[in-house]
Amino acid sequence: MKFLNRLGLYIIFIRKAFSRPEKRSVYTKELMSEFEKLGLNSIVLVLIISFFIGAVLTLQTAYNMENPLLPRYLIGYLTRETMLLEFSSTIVSLILAGKIGSNIASEIGSMRITEQIEALETMGVNSVSYLVGPKIIASFVINPVLYIFSVFIGILGGLLCGIVSGVVNYEDFIYGLHFSFNPYYVTYSIVKSLFFAFIFTSIPAFYGYYVQGGALEVGKAGTKAVVDSSITILVVNLVLTQIML
Amino acid sequence: MIRVESLDKAFDAKKVLSDINVSFDAGKVNLIIGKSGSGKTVLLKSIIGLHTIDSGHIYYGDRDLAAMNTRQVKELRKEIGVVFQGGALFDSLTVLENVMFPLNLFSDLTEGEKIKRAKFCLNRVDLFDAEQLYPSEISGGMKKRVAIARAIVLEPKYLFCDEPNSGLDPLTSIVIDNLISEITHEYQMTTVVNTHDMNSVFEIGEKIVFIHEGRKEWEGDKDGIAHTDNEHLNDFIFSSELFKKIKNVL
């Protein structure tokens, strides 16, 4: 029963987040600020992680291919498939759920306990729409972009590591990248990244918005938001994979 | 003028306000006083519309808050300025941006005019050279001043202050009290202040409402409060040794 109540409250919350803004120019300014906070501040982290994961994937694939009958281009192929299908969409989103999710929950939660949300309401501002709407829209735009960057940098990391360590040569790796490429996988992963972007912004925002108490409760809301959005991402990943592949 | 009639408010099974009937006069500083937990903040937030009341009416002039549609409530909100207990300044905005925020939402002024108006309000609360600072970089007293400047930037008809002196030293408290009083008379606003600061009561209280355990127990002015025979009010006002001595002198 409690779960259904929370779910109902969440649906109303999301509806409010997409209600018509009071003044478009103020919301546009907020949206630009969210692009910076959610996108630019995450891009370095995503690139670093993707580069190293791509490199490690190449090494691990190479060391697991002891059979001389297996062609070396499979290293490039498997690195591409892993980055494209799962790492750059799901794992990067899980990382962002931790980084951005806790940030959103604590930011909105702090605004709640310091009466800033009430101040917005008394000014006649739809606080959910003003605070949450731009975050969701910004992450919708940013997450697919981060996905694309992550795929490219991961593959680049794999290529460089493969050449430097000598486990694969440039030609084989590039051949593997082109081998049996299915463009639908990109569409599938971008659709997933859109769903995940919605999850890792809206769930933490919901927890932050309805926090009650003090700093301790804000901290707890942040933790709960990250756990719940991570689990939701994993479940939605499974469902989308079943539907789309 | 604001009129409250037969207001009841409960949170789940706990009744917080019972049968509150009170009016707040225009052009005056109206104080709501009472112990912590007496229900005065709930009353203030109910009047502002932040809490939905269970029964009763709240009239702004002749407009009944409960009977207003969403658009009318939004219009009313433009006539209301609120100073929250901690200031409730937006952390991500500078002092100037905080004061300009209501103008950005509700006025059609040019950017230059908005800046001019915001600076005027900041100067009115005696804040100079703090425009580019963030709330985390200014003192508690300055935060309250910025909150007052933000509350008056749209020239509201109604000003609400929730414990504006909390966390301030006695000297700064008096400065804030006097500022609220001056602004009220200057703009002829209906000002409602929640407080349990006795200095404020005797300094600026033109109309005083005493709330005890969710009920209105007394209503009057600062002259009447010194000679009241209401037991709860006497216990509240003259709780300290200093005020007991003052009562004996009075």
The mean pLDDT value for B123-150 works out to 92
> Given this model, what pLDDT does residue B54 score?
93
Domain boundaries, chain A: 26-244
Rounded mean pLDDT, B97-108: 92
Show the domains of chain B with their CATH numbers.
Answer: 2-79+163-249 (3.40.50.300), 93-155 (no CATH)
How far CA B193 is from CA of A66, B158, B211, B212, in Å, comes to: 79, 11, 13, 16
Our CA-based measurement puts residue B209 at a distance from the nearest CA of chain A, in whole angstroms, of 23
Residues in chain B with CB shorter than 8 Å from the CB of A135 are: none
Measured CA to CA, the distance from residue B178 to residue B180 in angstroms comes to 5
Q: Among B115-119, B125-129, B147-151, which stretch is predicted with the lowest mean pLDDT? A: B125-129
Is residue B247 pLDDT above 70, yes or no?
no
**Which residue from A118, A121, A123 is facing B102, i.e. has the nearest CB?**
A123
Calculate how close chain B gets to A213, using CA atoms only, in Å.
15
pLDDT of residue B232: 87
Among B5, B42, B32, B9, CA closest to B21: B5
Q: Does any CB of chain A come closer than 8 Å to the CB of residue B80?
A: yes
What's the CA gap between A245 and A241, in Å, rounded?
A: 5
Residue of B92, B94, B100, B166 to mutate for A, most A C-beta atoms under 10 A: B92
Higher model confidence: residue B225 or residue B109?
Answer: B109
Binned at pLDDT 50, 70 and 90, residue B250 comes out as low
Contact A132, A205 (CB under 8 A): yes
Whole-number pLDDT of residue B17 = 94
CA distance B83 to chain A (A): 8
Chain A residues whose beta carbon lies within 8 Å of the beta carbon of residue B86: 114-115
Q: What is residue A69's predicted lDDT score, i.e. its pLDDT?
A: 86
Q: Which of A25, A110, A121 sits opposite B50 (nearest CB)?
A: A121
Whether the predicted pLDDT of B228 surpasses 90? no
DSSP assignment string, B177-246: HHHHHHHHHHHT-EEEEEE--HHHHHHH-SEEEEEETTEEEEEE-HHHHTT---HHHHHHHT-SHHHHHH
Residue B75: pLDDT band by 50, 70, 90 thresholds? confident
Tell me the ipTM for this assembly. 0.86
What is d(CA B24, CA B38) in angstroms, rounded to the nearest whole number?
19
Higher pLDDT, A191 or B173: A191
- The parts of chain A modelled with pLDDT lower than 50 are none
Q: Return d(Cα A134, Cα A148) in angstroms, integer.
A: 22
Residues B152-174, mean pLDDT to the nearest whole number? 90
Tell me the pTM.
0.88
Interface touch A115/B85, C-beta < 8 Å: yes
Distance CA B179, CA A188 (A): 61
CB contact under 8 Å between B92 and A33, yes or no, is: yes
**pLDDT for residue B224 is more than 70:** yes
Which residues of chain A neighbour B102 with C-beta distances below 8 Å?
A: 123
Interface of B with A in 82-101 (CB under 8 A): 82, 84-86, 88-92, 101
The percent of residues in chain B predicted with pLDDT above 70, rounded, is 98
pLDDT at B153: 93
- How does the average pLDDT of chain B come out, rounded? 90
H/E element holding A189?
A: helix A184-209
Beta carbon pairs, A and B, within 8 Å: 50
